[in-house]
Amino acid sequence: MKLIQRPLYMDRLAAHAWNGFAKVLVGIRRCGKSSALKLYASGLKDCNVIYINTELAENYDLRDWKKFLGEVNSRIDGKGRNVLIVDEIQNIEGWDLALRDLIARGACDIYVTGSNSSLLSSDYSTHMGGRFNSIRMYPLSFRECLDFRREFGGTGDVLERS
């Protein structure tokens, strides 16, 4: 699947890279959080990228923070730079405990997405105690919609009804 470039968010993610904090990408469902992180990860060179989507059945057993942490630890490359990307972090019970452990050990550069009300309302700040950078993501802007339509071969009037 080809992903649309969203330079604003790539720049925001890059500005916080390797700063010792978790980067929390929040926004409504289907606004492009997961795609943005996949696009960002594709540009990382010489990094061990650990990607976990908590909405996939194969990862349901990782919804307990201790099992999740064990899985991440087993995939960390002790010799290189590690990047952890977790899609829909709120599905992991006790996710804040796991992230605090990883941050305290400097185990990896952490990027997570979330879309439920507790993440959107910034309640996670209580759990993370300032160990995060929040990046709010929005659906495509009108300019991005035009670019998307042009890039993916849309025809006809952009504003016509379907």
d(CA 78, CA 133): 25
Residue 17: pLDDT band by 50, 70, 90 thresholds?
Answer: very high
Mean predicted lDDT score pLDDT of the chain: 88
What's the whole-number mean pLDDT along residues 88-104?
94
Q: What pLDDT was estimated at residue 124?
A: 56
Q: Does the pLDDT at position 157 exceed 80? A: no
Distance of CA 38 to the CA centre of its chain: 8
The domains of the chain are located at 7-150
Strands of the sheet containing 81-87, edge to edge, are 47-53, 81-87, 109-114, 22-26, 132-136
Class (C level, CATH) for 7-150:
alpha beta
User: What pLDDT is attached to residue 128?
Assistant: 67
pLDDT value of position 118: 56
- Describe the chain by its helix, strand, coil percentages, rounded to 5: 45, 20, 35
Q: For the chain, what is the radius of gyration of the CA atoms?
A: 17
